[in-house]
A and B are shown apart, each in its own frame.
Chain A
Amino acid sequence: MSYENTLLVIKGASRSFGQVVAVKNFSLQVKDGEFVCLLGPSGCGKTTLLRIIAGFETLDSGDVLMNGESIIDLPPYRRTMNMVFQSYALFPHMSVFENIAFSQFLKKKPKEEVARKVRKMLQLVQLEGFETRGPNQLSGGQCQRVALARALINEPKVLLLDEPLGALDLKIRKQMQIELKNIQEKLRITFIYVTHDQEEALVMSDRIVLMNEGEIMQVGTPKRIYNHPNSKFSAMFVGENNLLKGTVVKVNSDCLVISVDGLELFANRTINVKTGDPVTLAIRPEKLRITGELEGKSFGNQIRGKMVDAVFFGSVVKYYLRISENITMVAEDRITDESNARSIKIGDGVTLAFTRESLNVFPE
C-alpha cells in the first residue's frame, strides 16, 4: 500500500494486560477520508486498539503516527481526534446543547459562534429542536446522534467509533448505518469504526481490518474480504460459508483437484500446495446453484445431493442438502417471484453446481 494521503499510521503496536495479550504487533495505515472498520469477535483487541489511538491506553511497544508525527506521548485532549463511545457517555447533568457545545466552550469560542455550530450539527444529525432536552429524555438512537454531533463539532481529523450502534435495535441500527455512512461521505472525515457485526462492516466501510486474538487476520475491501477470504477464520466470521475438509489430489497449472469425502472438486490455483496436502474449502450458500444435470456441466463443479430441509426466510429460501454421508451443505435461493419458487420437496435428489472461482481454498 502506498503512503500517499496516509493520515494515521500504527506501527507494530503491542499491548498486554497481565497474561492476556490484547493487541499483538499490529500495523496499519489509514488514508485521509477513509472509512475503516476494525472487525472481530469480542475480546479480539479491537476496542483496546481504538483506545490506544484515542490515548486512553498506553502501548507496550510500537508507535502511532498522525501526519507522520508520533502522538503516543500526547494526552487524549491534545489529539486531533474524537471518540463516540458505545454507551454514548453523554453528560447527564447537561442539556443536549451543553453536551454538544462542551468542547467549544472549553476552547473559549464566542457564544454566538458556538450556538451557530451547534445548530449546524443538530441539523446534520437531524435533531433540530432538541437543544434544551436532557440526555435522559432521549431514546437510544437520539443519544447516539447527540454523541456523534458532540464529537463532530470539534472537527476532528479522525473520528473513532466504538460499536456505536451496538445498543440499538435492529431497525434503527440499519437506518443509522446508512446515515453514518452518508455523514462520513459528506464530511470526508476519516472514520475508524469498531464492530463485531460483520454485516455492519460490509455495509459501511471502505476497508475492513479483520482481527482475531489481537492480530490482523485480513485487510481488504468488503468485496474482497467477502469473496476471497484468506483463511478459515475469515471465511467463518464474515458472512455464511459452507466449510469442507479435503485433500489435494492433483495440482494442475491453473487448477487444483481436491477430494472431499470421496467427491472430486475443482478450484482455481490461488495458493501454493502440493499433492496430499490437507486443505479447507469454503463456498457461499448463494454461489451454489440447484440445477438440472445438463446445464450444471458449464459450472465446473457438479455434485449430486439429497434435500433434507428447506427453511423460508422471506426474501430467500435456504436448502439443506446432503452431499455425502457426513456432509450437509446450505444453498441459498432468492425468491424473485412466488410462481418461480422451486418445487423441490424434502427427500428429492438434486444437482448442485458451482464455479471454480467461487470455491476458496486455504491450507489446513
Chain B
Amino acid sequence: MRKGKIHIFLLLPFWVYYILFFFIPLGILLTYSFWLTTARGLVPTFTLENYWAIFSKKLYLIIILRSIRIAFIAAIICVVVSYPVAYSLTFKYKKMQDFVLYLILISLFSSYLVRIYAWKTILGRQGLINQILQYIGLTKEPLSFLLYSPTAVIITLVFIFVPFTILPIFSSLQNVKPELIEAAKDLGANNFEAFYKVTLPLSMSGVVTGFIFSFILSAGDYVTPQLVGGTTGMMIGKIIADQFGMRYNWPFGSALSYFTLFLLALLVYCLIWILKILKLRR
C-alpha cells in the first residue's frame, strides 16, 4: 500500500459508525414506510398507502405545518437573541468570554428533561411567572395560556436550543478581524453601514448554521410539546413517536418521518438558495 493512502483508515470509525447506526436504520425505516400493518402484524410489501394516509386526515398536515411554524419562530428568536450576545462577547466584553461560554456549555450539558420540567414549573398556573404577576397586581387570575400552548413550546425550545445558535455565531464572528471594521469606518462607513456591509456578511455562515441547527432540532422535538404543549401545542415528533409506541403502526410512522424529513430538507435548501441569491445581488 502506498504511504499516502494510509490515512483513509483514520476515517474508518466514522464510516463504521455511520453505516451501522445511521444509514442502515434509515434504510430500514424507508423499507417500513412501504409496508403495511394488518391485524396479523407487519406485512412486507410495496405500497404508497402510508404516504397517501398522511393526506387522508387534515390533522396530520395541520400538525406538520404547525411544527414547522413553531420551529421557524423558535429558530428566528434563537438567532435574534444569540447574535447580540455573541457580538458583544466578541467585540465588547472580551474578558467575560470564557465565563459566559462555560455557562452556555453547562446549560447545554445539563439534562434536557430537567430543563423542560423547569419551564413547566415556571410557566404553570401556580408557577413563578403567574405568582409574580399576581403579586405585583398585574393580573388577578393566573394566566392559563402560559402553559400548554404553542407559546410555552416556543419559549422552552428557545431556551433549550439557544446554545446551538450562540456557539456557531460566536465562532463565525471570530473571523471578523477588528481591523476590517476599522477599515470600513475609515472608508466612510458609519457604525450601521460597517456592520451591515462587513460584520454581518462575514458572520452570515454562523447565522445560517445556527438557524438550521435550532430549526431542525425544534421541528423534530417531541418531549417539549408533550410536556408543555398541551393539545394546541402538539407537534409532529410526538405523533410519529406515538406510531412506534402506542399505535404500533411502524409503516405509517416511517412514512410520516420521511415526509417531514423531505419537507424540512426542502425548506433548508430553499433558505440557503435564497441567501445565495441575496449575496449575489449585493
Contact = CB atoms under 8 A, between A and B. Distances in A.
Interface stretch (A82-90, A247-255, A309-317, A340-348): A82-90
Contacts of B184: 91, 102
Contact of B177 (A54, A82, A87, A106): A87
Contacts of A151: 186-187
Given A76-B182, A93-B202, A103 B177 contact: no
Given A89-B177, A93-B201, A106-B193, A83 B188 contact: no
B195 to A, nearest CB: 13
B43 interface: no
Contacts of A107: 188
B189 interface: yes
A85 B190 CA distance: 19
B180 A77 contact: no
Contacts of A82: 186-187
A150 B186 CA distance: 11
B198 interface: yes
A149 to B, nearest CB: 12
B179 interface: yes
Given A92-B202, A93-B201, A154 B188 contact: yes
A85 B183 contact: yes
Contacts of A150: 187
A123 B189 CA distance: 25
Most chain A beta carbons < 10 A, residue from B179, B183, B189 = B183
Interface residues of B, number: 17
A75 interface: yes
A87 B179 contact: yes
A52 B247 CA distance: 72
A91 B183 contact: yes
Interface residues of A, number: 22
Nearest to B182: A56
A136 to B, nearest CB: 12
A91 B198 contact: yes
Given A87-B177, A89-B177, A93-B201, A106 B189 contact: yes
Interface string A88-104: 01111100000000110
B265 to A, nearest CB: 27
B115 interface: no
Interface in A16-59: 54-56
B189 A77 contact: yes
A92 B175 CA distance: 10
B180 A89 contact: yes
B185 interface: yes
A102 B282 CA distance: 12
B202 A83 contact: no
Contact of A83 (B180, B186, B190, B198): B186
B281 to A, nearest CB: 13
B185 A77 contact: yes
A77 B185 CA distance: 5
B184, B187, B189, most chain A CB atoms within 10 A: B187
A153 to B, nearest CB: 9
A245 B114 CA distance: 78
Nearest to A85: B179
Given A76-B182, A91-B184, A106-B197, 5 more contacts: A77-B189, A83-B186, A90-B183, A106-B187, A106-B193
Interface of A: 54-56, 75-77, 82-83, 85, 87, 89-93, 102-103, 106-107, 150-151, 154
